[in-house]
Amino acid sequence: MCEWKGAATYWDVADVDGSGNVTWREAAAWSYRTPTPRFVPIAGFLSFMPSAVACFIDGERVRPQAGGFYGGWITSDVVGPFKGEPGSWGW
């Protein structure tokens, strides 16, 4: 549940290697089927947890936010502080 976007649907992701072996990444992605009115343009799109799957932007591997709760993507172009880090509770 997101306080701005509404109820989320979580998705498991199948990671298949070159030999056909499957590893399941539970709740590695999420989407909003019926988001709040302001966020209707993102309805049905998937977001991926960089702590569960390798995510890249312009060749740079994305770092997940600390704490394991938020799905934010952190790169060298993004400046903190970030939620999830020590002392960030409550803001």
Q: What is the CATH number of the domain that holds 37?
A: 2.170.150.40
Q: Write out the residue range of the structural domain in which residue 16 sits.
A: 1-48
Q: Are residues 12 and 38 in the same domain?
A: yes
- Is residue 24 helix, strand or coil? strand
- Same domain, residue pair 22 and 36: yes
Q: End-to-end CA distance of the chain, in Å?
A: 18
**Per-residue model confidence as pLDDT tens digits over 45-82:** 999 999 999 999 999 999 998 877 778 888 999 887 78
Report residue 73 as tokens: 């993507």
**Distance (Å, whole) CA 24 – CA 52:** 10
Is 32 within the bounds of a domain?
yes
> Rounded to two decimals, what is the model's pTM?
0.77
Extract the tokens encoding 54.
Answer: 């390798």
Domain count, the chain: 2
pLDDT level of residue 2 (50, 70, 90 thresholds): confident
Examine residue 88 and state whether it is found in any structural domain, yes or no.
Answer: no
Written as six digits, the tokens of 58 are 């312009």
Residue 13 DSSP symbol: E
CB 80 within 8 A of CB 64: no
